[in-house]
Amino acid sequence: MTFKVTRDQDGYPSITLTDEPPYSHALGVAPSAREPELNKGNWLVMAFAVWSTPDNLAIQTALDVAKRFGGKLNLGLRPFDDSEEFSAWCPDIEDDEQSPLWVLLRDGEVCMKRSGILTVDELVELIGDACDPMSALAG
């Protein structure tokens, strides 16, 4: 189970996942709009600065968090170069100039937003606190 962050010949960043569970998804950089699949179910989207070593290391944290939820939570990993790229896929997000950006979506609604380096346990707790106690993620 691995990931690789690269740039194509035009300089656009991407992430490739190898042997990761089906609930872990590599999302495209700077989409023109939010992908329809992000509007259904529970998603943790981690937007990471491709040029930031701490952000790239935090990708493993995101993968580990998704594994803790055992498929009840989809993980989307989105590379970015500039935080202005957030507006198309999550217009409600204000840039606080810290990365990575962690956004929890439930049926397309933002129910948690944090930024910065977090541990697996911190993220699991934040997600649990953000979700309705009756939801499938709670507990």
Q: Hey, which of 28-32, 53-57, 81-85, 124-128 has the most confident mean pLDDT?
A: 53-57
65 SS3 class: helix
Alpha carbon of residue 15 to chain centroid: 12
pLDDT at 111 over 50: yes
DSSP conformation class of 81: S
Q: Which residues of 25-64 are buried (b: 16+ CB within 10 A; e: fewer)?
A: bbbebbeeebeeebeeebbbbbbbbbeeeebbebbebbbe
Structural domain spans, the chain: 2-130
**Per-residue pLDDT, 95:** 64
Distance CA 106, CA 97 (A): 24
Coarse DSSP helix, strand, coil percentages of the chain, rounded to the nearest 5 percent: 25, 30, 40
Distance CA 85, CA 125 (A): 27
Extract the tokens encoding 105. Answer: 């979506």
Report pLDDT digits (tens) over 31-71. 999 999 999 999 999 999 999 999 999 999 999 999 999 88
Q: Where residue 133 falls among pLDDT bands split at 50, 70, 90?
A: low
Q: Does domain 2-130 have CATH number 3.40.30.10?
A: yes
In this structure, are strands 2-7 and 101-106 parallel, antiparallel, or unpaired?
unpaired
